[in-house]
Structure 1
Amino acid sequence: MNIVNLSALELGRQIACKKITSVETVQFYIDRNQTFKHLDCISELFEIEALQQAQHLDELLQQGTRLSPFHGVPILLKDNLDVAGHITHAGTVYLDQKAQANCELVDQLKNLGFVILGKTKMTELAFGLSGQNPMQGTPKNPWAEQQYAPGGSSSGSAVAVACGLSPLAFGGDTGGSIRTPAALNGIFGFKPSAHKIADTGAVPLSKTLDTLGPFARFADDISALVNVLMDVNVEAASSENVIYALDESAFPYPLEPEVLTLWREGLKRIESLGIEIKNWQPPTHFNFHDLSDRTSDIIAYESYLYHGDTAEDSETQMWELVRQRVLRGKSISQEKYESLIAERTEFQQSFKASLNGQCLLFPVSPFLAAVSNTKDTEFSHVGEYTRPFNYLDAPSYAFPIAQSESGLPMGIQLVSYQANDVDVMHIVQKIANGLNIRSILPPICQD
């Protein structure tokens, strides 16, 4: 059975009905990962452990125990998450200590019957949006022959899901690190409100802003996964058919002409579902460049607290750009940092009031894909579309809406005010199901 185009939920149903075993499923994905090893998106594949775990789950099923709708389904993890007995590299070449215990999320996933298939590559210390990692190797964006950026920092997780190397994967988002690679790889990626998904046992970049979230090729998979992890009910969300879209006059940076055309066409497609889209202007004191800078300053300050000693040591092998990003935190005063934290509440309240209980459509990236330069500056304007929602602690969900003439995917994001995660997921699921949006495999990954 070729299961690569099955959703995680459907795969779970097939396992539950005993049409395929978890062992067979895991072996399929191990083989597929070997076939597409050249994509360079996997940090470590847990072949022996994953098959042993799958065998145990098959035995439980034979005994009448099914732990969740995802019983026996494989999942990949970003390599900043601790898995007992394995090194948590966090995109570095200098971290070499094996984790003594699982992070909290891994224990939750195992209790739900997931098979931990392995860990994915990422930007060093999760500090960057392009996905570049000259120290470990940069995952390949599978949508182009040339080396387009995969998006970061959760680059490996997004590439792996886009190419059918796992039905689900986890990433992290501190300034756009789930939404950017989701959009550039044509898949679904959800950043919940901060700390809604347990993040104890993850290598931090900014504990204030770090947020774990899933990638999938099907919106229903993300809804079901978040339902069980966050103990919410996506079906109980608001049923209103009104959402906002960012007015073009308020774009923080111009969209490339083709992206702008696809953005407009995407809004029309969504309106065809009977959803009313209203133009949204940000509150008068909002400046997306300023909000992006506020996020960047918090990240830099906190990253220096955790990684400053390492960055200060010139003997440590570290990408110099990441080193300098960490060291920038040294120049940010504690007074300024505390002010940035204290002022978040006012911005969050203003944002919530401006939405009138609704959600907001927003671009993810002003371009479809880019060739990263050695100075890693190409993605600075992407941050102006993603980082503000980390400062606002806004649930933000990137989903594919179109393809360019050359076949590159384009994603947009739906955001809302802090803790309104359920409405965001519900509306994206409604749009995806109504427009039959399913992430297709890139041509190089089709059988």
Structure 2
Amino acid sequence: MTSDYFLDWGTEDLSDGIRDRRLTSAALVSASLAKIEATNGKLHAFVTVFSDSAMERAAELDAETAVGSSRGPLHGLPVAIKDLADIRDRVTGFGSRCYSDTPARATAPFVKALDDAGAIIIGQTHMVEFAFGSWGTNYAMGTPVNPAGPGHLAPGGSSSGSAVAVASGMVPLAIGSDTGGSVRIPAGLCGVAGMKPSHGLTSLEGVAPLSAGLDTIGPLAKDVAGLKFLLDAITTDRKAPAASAPQRRPRRIFRLAAGDLEPVHADILDRYDAYLAEVSTTLGQAQTLILPLPLAEYQSRCGDLMAHDSYALLHGLIDDPETALDPCVRRRIAVGRSISDRQQQQKWQTRQKDIAEFLNRFGPDDLLILPTTPEPTRPVAEIDETQLPMSRFTRLANYLDLAATSLPLWQVNGLPVGAQFVMRKGNDNRLLAILSDVARDCRAA
């Protein structure tokens, strides 16, 4: 047995081990730092690693444990933070060389909440420039390597480094952001769990924005328990529906219509059909119902909202040809140049109508299951970012203001593919409770 055997433990086991003093936070953090040192040069998950402060914090928390004190399930666990959240006296890079000089003056409230809950902030992770891209590529700062297979496989984005850090075992927990799928897509492609919480459930103060009306801070973890621990810590309103005691069973389970799934990898389609039947049995439903959805329209409308808002924030950089930006990101954001403020207001109004229409068909006790991505990852060298958008199945949750989680339940040619579970806004903890049953009782395919 190696000295870092506990890195393979589930999140609950790590938490219990520290609480019961079978494991020290110092040992866990030391093992994580050693893993980062050994693998980050190849995998490129971390921008910055806080080795000294992490070990100092671990010692402080171990001292609390020694006198019988615990801050909760995150006590002593290392957490990585996507490089768009402010941490006092650290530079927030936003995935770009344009933001590489000025340290933050304050710490984002959600990061402070993690610290208060006993989590140890171990470093900042790489991301797609300005958080606008679903394959996870970053040609300015470097693209993290998905550890799911050999070669340089795309990690998914934009929370690429956070997903790679968890998937490779560098850390058990990480934080990303999700505006159109940026937590769920890398979670699905790297084979970890990732969640887009209900919009407004967590604070966005101190977080570099892409589109404030769509942005969310979301957890990534090796399991559902890890998502729950992180979500509980960063939830802003403790009286919000997401923080209430969940009812465990959905009333109806919905699937996509066959036509709405296209284009999708044939093996994903086969596993989707078989998996739906298994989940329905596990959750006590006789059958699944079809929910036709205009996914392409949702994706396009969501993309326009993101482009306008990001262009309004970043037009000085986007319009300056001398600025060294990722050309794909520049092109995506530049779409917002042609969208006027009046048109943007109309697009937000259209969104509200689309939400109302959707909620007329999708009730407070309903569950929608769909693939996270239309295909598994592929080598970075083979990516054409103008083709097959990886956000085809994820943007609906941001656009329609829903809670959504991706779990690593399928394999295609030996590569992970996520299954996505969606419920109405405010059902975050209920969704995680349901997924605890699903992860326990339904086999991965």
In the alignment, does 2:291 pair up with 1:281?
yes
- SS of equivalent to 1:385: coil
What residue number does 2:116 align with?
111
**Counterparts in 2 of 1:356-395, with a 5 A limit?**
356-357=363-364, 358-372=366-380, 373=382, 375-380=384-389, 382-395=390-403
What residue number does 2:298 align with?
291
How far, CA to CA, are the matches of 1:254 and 1:435 in structure 2? 26
In the alignment, does 2:240 pair up with 1:236?
no
The root-mean-square deviation of aligned C-alpha atoms, in Å, is 1.9
- SS of equivalent to 1:317: coil
What residue number does 1:92 align with?
96
How far, CA to CA, are the matches of 1:274 and 1:176 in structure 2? 26
Q: Note closer, same or farther for the CA distance 1:421–1:184 as it changes in structure 2 (3 Å cut).
A: same
Q: Is the 8 A contact 2:15 2:74 kept in 1?
A: yes
Q: Is the 8 A contact 2:376 2:417 kept in 1?
A: yes
Shift of 1:324: 2.2
Shift of 1:250: 2.8
What residue number does 1:214 align with?
219
In the alignment, does 2:357 pair up with 1:350?
yes
How far, CA to CA, are the matches of 2:122 and 2:80 in structure 1? 5
Correspondence for 1:195 among 186, 193, 200: 200
Correspondence for 1:300 among 303, 307, 311: 307
Correspondence for 2:24 among 16, 21, 25: 21
Higher alpha-carbon deviation: 344-353 or 50-59: 344-353
Shift of 1:425: 1.8
In the alignment, does 2:64 pair up with 1:60?
yes
Shift of 1:258: 1.2
Q: Is the 8 A contact 1:237 1:422 kept in 2?
A: no
Q: Is the 8 A contact 2:82 2:176 kept in 1?
A: yes
- SS of equivalent to 1:3: helix
Shift of 1:437: 6.2
Correspondence for 2:319 among 297, 312, 315: 312
Count of aligned pairs? 432
In the alignment, does 2:342 pair up with 1:335?
yes
How far, CA to CA, are the matches of 1:378 and 1:7 in structure 2? 37
Deviations 1:153-209 (A, max 9, x none): 001111111111111000111111111111111111010111211221011111111
Q: Is the 8 A contact 2:95 2:127 kept in 1?
A: yes
How far, CA to CA, are the matches of 1:379 and 1:85 in structure 2? 40
What residue number does 2:264 align with?
255
Q: 2:124 is aligned with what amino acid?
A: K
Shift of 1:379: 4.5
How far, CA to CA, are the matches of 1:61 and 1:300 in structure 2? 47
Shift of 1:77: 0.6
Q: 1:117 is aligned with what amino acid?
A: I
How far, CA to CA, are the matches of 1:311 and 1:144 in structure 2? 35
- SS of equivalent to 1:94: helix
How far, CA to CA, are the matches of 2:104 and 2:232 in structure 1? 28
Shift of 1:393: 1.0
Shift of 1:241: 5.8
Correspondence for 2:80 among 72, 76, 80: 76
How far, CA to CA, are the matches of 1:3 and 1:379 in structure 2? 39
In the superposition, the TM-score normalised over structure 1's length comes to: 0.92
Q: 2:391 is aligned with what amino acid?
A: G
Q: 1:57 is aligned with what amino acid?
A: L
In the alignment, does 2:331 pair up with 1:324?
yes
Q: Note closer, same or farther for the CA distance 1:435–1:375 as it changes in structure 2 (3 Å cut).
A: closer
**Counterparts in 2 of 1:156-171, with a 5 A limit?**
156-171=161-176
What residue number does 2:433 align with?
426
**Counterparts in 2 of 1:378-417, with a 5 A limit?**
378-380=387-389, 382-404=390-412, 406-417=413-424
Q: Is the 8 A contact 1:266 1:401 kept in 2?
A: no
How far, CA to CA, are the matches of 1:434 and 1:78 in structure 2? 32
Shift of 1:234: 6.8
How far, CA to CA, are the matches of 1:98 and 1:256 in structure 2? 44
Q: Is the 8 A contact 2:272 2:370 kept in 1?
A: no
In the alignment, does 2:182 pair up with 1:177?
yes
How far, CA to CA, are the matches of 2:299 and 2:59 in structure 1? 47
Q: Note closer, same or farther for the CA distance 1:81–1:51 as it changes in structure 2 (3 Å cut).
A: same
Q: Is the 8 A contact 1:176 1:383 kept in 2?
A: yes
How far, CA to CA, are the matches of 1:207 and 1:98 in structure 2? 22
Deviations 1:327-350 (A, max 9, x none): 221110111100111222221122
Q: 2:327 is aligned with what amino acid?
A: E
How far, CA to CA, are the matches of 1:339 and 1:187 in structure 2? 37
Correspondence for 2:50 among 33, 43, 46: 46
Shift of 1:266: 1.7
How far, CA to CA, are the matches of 1:423 and 1:112 in structure 2? 22
How far, CA to CA, are the matches of 1:436 and 1:288 in structure 2? 28
Q: Is the 8 A contact 1:197 1:211 kept in 2?
A: yes
Shift of 1:147: 2.2
- SS of equivalent to 1:416: strand
What residue number does 1:270 align with?
279
Q: Is the 8 A contact 2:146 2:152 kept in 1?
A: yes
How far, CA to CA, are the matches of 1:410 and 1:182 in structure 2? 9
Q: 1:23 is aligned with what amino acid?
A: A
Q: Is the 8 A contact 2:188 2:416 kept in 1?
A: yes
Shift of 1:227: 3.0
Q: Note closer, same or farther for the CA distance 1:234–1:155 as it changes in structure 2 (3 Å cut).
A: farther
In the superposition, the TM-score normalised over structure 2's length comes to: 0.92
In the alignment, does 2:205 pair up with 1:205?
no
Q: 1:94 is aligned with what amino acid?
A: C
Correspondence for 1:148 among 142, 149, 153: 153
Q: Note closer, same or farther for the CA distance 1:147–1:377 as it changes in structure 2 (3 Å cut).
A: farther
What residue number does 2:38 align with?
35
